[in-house]
Amino acid sequence: MPHVERFSISMNRELLKTFDELTARKGYPNRSEAIRDLVRNALVEERWADANEKVAATVTIVYDHHTRELADRLADIQHHHGSLVVAATHIHLDNDNCLEVVILRGLSGRVRQLAELLIAQKGVKHGRAVYTTEGRDLW
Ligand code: NI
């Protein structure tokens, strides 16, 4: 457990009021936890700016499995990037639509490229990647 330091922050009243409303709306127990999350988000984002950081990501895609060859194409892409794909889960939303979550891990540049490639496939109705961290050096 890292040593906890206390410090004070100066902020204009209006900004603080808005921040407190945000903190409450998001369910944070206090300002400190909300600020810690903001700092962590900034650090993770910074890490992703470097293409050679070890990172993790999830890619969520929704698609119609009747779209010609799309399911095969998505599987092919994952096979060709086997070293980056940790796991994939597929559920059938209804008669037509599938939801797939692909978990990726590797160097940020390659992970981002693969995430973008999956989302960009013709027939994917919606795709979103969450670029996160392996958690080391982040407290
Ligand atoms: Ni399906």
Per-residue pLDDT of the chain (139 residues; tens, 9 = 90+): 678 999 999 999 999 999 999 999 999 999 999 999 999 999 999 999 998 999 999 999 999 999 889 999 999 999 999 999 999 999 999 999 999 999 999 999 999 999 999 999 999 999 999 999 999 888 8
Could you tell me the distance, in angstroms and rounded to a whole number, from the CA of residue 112 to the centre of ligand 1?
24
> What does the DSSP 8-state code read for residue 112?
H
Give me the domains of the chain, ranges plus CATH numbers. 13-48 (1.10.1220.10), 54-133 (3.30.70.1150)
Could you tell me the distance, in angstroms and rounded to a whole number, from the CA of residue 108 to the centre of ligand 1?
29
Longest CA–CA span in the chain (Å) reads 58
Q: What span, in angstroms and rounded, lies between the C-alpha atoms of 91 and 101?
A: 9
- Count the neighbouring beta carbons within 10 Å of the beta carbon of residue 61: 23
Could you tell me the distance, in angstroms and rounded to a whole number, from the CA of residue 120 to the centre of ligand 1?
19
Q: What span, in angstroms and rounded, lies between the C-alpha atoms of 17 and 96?
A: 46
| Model confidence, pTM | 0.87
127, two tokens:
């795709």
